[in-house]
Chain A
C-alpha cells in the first residue's frame, strides 16, 4: 500500500489543481451555453409559463410563438430581406475586391503604394463612425433626384444597403486577398500566359481557384458582418422593409410594453439558428481564418 500512496501524494496538488481547472472551464462554458439554451426552450413556452420559476421546462411544444413571430411580427418577411441583402452584399464585395486585390498583388502601376496605404487606413475606420454622413449623403441624392424619382431611390433600398455593406468591407477583403495572392508562386500565371490565356482568364481561371481558401474566409467574415449588422440597416432602411436584426429590435421594444415573451424568444431563435448551423459546419475554417486574417473585432 505504501508504494501506492507515495506517488499519489506527490500527484495530489496537481490533481486538485486539475479538478479546479475543469470546474472553472465548465462553469464558464455553462455561463455561455445556458442562456442560449434557455432562450431555445423558452421559445416553446406559453404566456402563463413565464411567470414563476424560470427553470421549468416547457409543458408542451407551443409552436404558436413561431407562427406569431413569423407572420404577425413579419419576421418571415424580414428573414427574406436579410438573405437578399447579405447575398447581394457578398456578390458585390467579391466582384470588386478580387480583381482589385489581384492587380495590387501582381501588377506594378503608379500610385499602388498610395492605394495600399489608403486601404490599410480604411481598416481603422469603423462603419459606426461614418453611418451618419452616409445617411445624409443618400438623403441628399434622393432630394436631388426628386423630380425624376419622386418616391426616392437610395433610402429604403435593400440594394443600396448591400452596396454600402460591400463598400465598408472592401479594406478588410482586399487586405486579406492581396496577402494571399502574393503568397501564390507566379509559375502558375507564367504557364497560363505561355498557353495564350488572357489577363482576365489568368485571373479568373487560374488564380481565383487557387485563392479559394482566402475567398472562403472573406465570405465567412463578411457574411457574419452583414447578417449581424443592425446599425446600418436601422439607418438606411427606416421604412417597412426591415432586416431580421432590426425586426428583432422592434420585437424587443414591443415585448417591453406588452410582456409578450414567447414571440420575442421565437424571433430570437429564428435569428440565431441559421448562424449557429453555419458556425457548427465551418468552425474550424472560421478559427483558422481568424488567426490568419489578423484581428477583426
Chain B
C-alpha cells in the first residue's frame, strides 16, 4: 500500500547499509545503550512485568491489600467453569464478537465497494462523516447512546412516541433480552467507518483495467465484487479480521463499563468487565487474573483460528 508515510524523500538509490555502520565504530555500544535503555526500562516495567503478573497471580488467592497471598494452583480456573456469571460473560462476549464482526465487516466491505466502484459524488464527505465515531472516546459514545436509548426522553423512544408507535418503545438498556443488542449496535456504529476507510484504501489500489476488461466480458458489478475485489483484498481482510477480534473484546468491555456497568443483573457482562469487577469490587485479584488469562488464551486462539480458516493462496495483480 503506497501512502504518504511510507515514501520518504529519496533521491538516491539506497545502498543496503553504509560501510561505516556495519563495521562497528568505537562508542557505538554506548550510544545504542543510551538510546535503547529508557524505552526498554519503561516497556519492561509497565508491560512485561504486569503481563507476567497476570499469569502469576492467577495461581493465587489474594485480596490485594493484605500481605496474605496463598498459592492455590489451578483452583481459580476450575472454579471459573462452575461460575454461572462467568459462563454468561463468556457467552455474551462470543455473541457480541460473532454478530458485530459479521455486521461490521460485511457492511464495511459493501460500503467500501460501492464508494470506490460507483464513484459516488461527495464520497470524501461521506468518508469524513463515517470516520467520526472512530475519533470519539468510548465514554462519549456511551453517553450518546445513553441519550438515544433513554427510557423517557431518549431519541429512540421519543421518536416512536411522536410517530404514535408507543407499542415499539423499549427499555433499551434495562431489558435483559435487549441490552446486548443495544450494545452491539453501538459497537457497529463505532467501528463501521474505520473498516470502511481501511477497505476503501486497499480497494483503491486495484487496477482499473481489471474491471474494464471484465465489464466488457459482461460481468455484473456483483460478479466483479466476488471475483475481483474480494480475492484481491483478501490478505488485507485477513489481517483486519484477526485484529478485529482483539479490538472487539476490548471495545465491548469499555463500552459496557461506561454504558451499562454489566447490568441489568449481569445480562450485558463481558469477560473483561467481569474480570474488572472481580478485581476491584470483589477484591478477588487472583480470581480476576484467572479470568484475564482465559481472555488472553481465548483471543489468541480465536485470532489463530480466524487466520487459519481464511488462509488462501495470495493473489497478485
Contacts and interface: CB of A to CB of B under 8 A. Distances in A.
B191 interface: yes
Interface string B12-30: 1111011011101001110
B115 A25 contact: yes
Interface in B17-68: 17-18, 20-22, 24, 27-29, 31-32, 34-36, 38-40, 42-43, 45-51, 53-54, 57, 64-65
Interface stretch (B85-93, B128-136, B175-183, B308-316): B128-136
B1 A107 contact: no
A289 interface: yes
B126 interface: yes
Contacts of B140: 248, 268, 271-272
A167 B43 contact: yes
Nearest to B161: A53
Given A167-B43, A180-B6, A137 B20 contact: no
A266 B37 CA distance: 44
A290 B236 CA distance: 13
A174 interface: yes
B148 A35 contact: yes
Interface stretch (B74-82, B194-202, B224-232): B194-202
A163 interface: yes
Interface string A282-296: 010111111111111
A245 B137 contact: yes
A210 B8 contact: yes
B137 A230 contact: yes
B114 A132 contact: no
Given A21-B120, A129-B292, A295 B198 contact: yes
Contacts of B126: 25-26, 29
Contacts of A136: 53, 64, 285
Contact of A167 (B47, B272, B288): B47
Interface string A154-168: 000000000110111
Contacts of B253: 128
Contacts of B266: none
A126 B147 CA distance: 29
A109 B50 contact: no
B276 interface: yes
A265 B38 CA distance: 42
The prevalent SS among residues of A at the interface is: helix
B36 A115 contact: yes
A288 B139 contact: no
Contacts of B42: 92, 96, 163, 166-167, 170
Nearest to A176: B5
Interface in A79-122: 92, 95-97, 99-100, 102-104, 106-109, 115, 118-119, 122
A197 interface: no
A268 B145 CA distance: 12
B3 A288 contact: yes
Contacts of A189: 18, 21
Interface of A: 18, 21-22, 24-26, 28-29, 31-33, 35-36, 38-39, 42, 50-55, 92, 95-97, 99-100, 102-104, 106-109, 115, 118-119, 122, 124-126, 128-130, 132-134, 136-137, 139, 163-164, 166-168, 170-171, 174, 179-180, 183-187, 189-190, 193, 199-200, 203, 210-211, 213-214, 217, 224, 227-231, 245-246, 248-249, 252, 261, 264-265, 268, 271-272, 275-276, 278-280, 283, 285-297
14 contacts: A25-B120, A28-B111, A54-B162, A55-B159, A99-B35, A129-B272, A132-B279, A137-B49, A164-B46, A185-B15, A199-B31, A276-B132, A292-B5, A295-B243
Given A38-B155, A39-B143, A96-B42, 19 more contacts: A29-B129, A35-B145, A39-B144, A122-B48, A126-B249, A129-B272, A130-B54, A167-B43, A167-B45, A167-B46, A171-B43, A186-B17, A213-B4, A228-B139, A248-B139, A272-B136, A276-B132, A283-B128, A289-B3
Q: Which 6 A-B pairs have the closest CB atoms?
A: A297-B247, A228-B137, A99-B35, A167-B46, A185-B14, A54-B158
